[in-house]
Amino acid sequence: MANHLDLGRLGEQLAKTYLEGLGYEIIDENWTHGKAEVDLIAYHDKTIIFVEVKTRTGTGFGQPEDFVDARKQKLLADAANEYIYLMEHNGDARFDIVSVLFDQQNKHTLKHIPDAFWPAPDI
C-alpha cells in the first residue's frame, strides 16, 4: 500500500471522480485558509459543497469519517466562511464527507455522507 500522503491523494482522486460522476463541478482542490485545508470544493444545484476526504487502510481506530472531529469541523467552517466571502456566494453551502476505505487486497469502498455536519452558524 502507498505511504500516508500517497494514500490521501489517491482517496481524494477517487472522491473527485465519484463526485464528478454525480454531476458535481469541482471548483477547487486542497484550498487552504489558516490552518485548514479543504480537500475538495464542489458546486452542485446552486450549492457550494465543502468536502473532507478521509482515507484509511483499516478500521482498527474507527471508520474514516470518525476522524472529522469537532476541531476539524471548526477549522473547515472557518475556511468555508472565508471562501464564501471571497467568492461572494449568496446561496446555500454544506459540508460533505467522503470516506475511502482500502482492504488488504487493495480494493476500496467509498462512502459519501452529504450534509455530514453543520458546525458553522455563521454560514
pLDDT tens digits, one per residue of 37-96: 999 999 999 999 999 999 988 777 778 788 888 889 999 999 999 999 999 999 999 999
CATH of domain 4-117: 3.40.1350.10
Tell me how far apart the alpha carbons of residues 80 and 70 are, in angstroms, rounded to a whole number: 15
pTM score: 0.89
As a whole number of Å, the end-to-end CA separation of the chain is 38
Domain borders along the chain are: 4-117
Q: How sure is the predictor about 32, in pLDDT bands with cuts at 50, 70 and 90?
A: very high
Q: What is the mean pLDDT of the chain?
A: 89
According to the model, what pLDDT value does residue 121 have? 44
Residue 123: predicted pLDDT: 46
Band (107; pLDDT cuts 50, 70, 90):
very high
DSSP string, 58-116: --TT--GGGG--HHHHHHHHHHHHHHHHHHT--SEEEEEEEEEEE-TTS-EEEEEEEEE
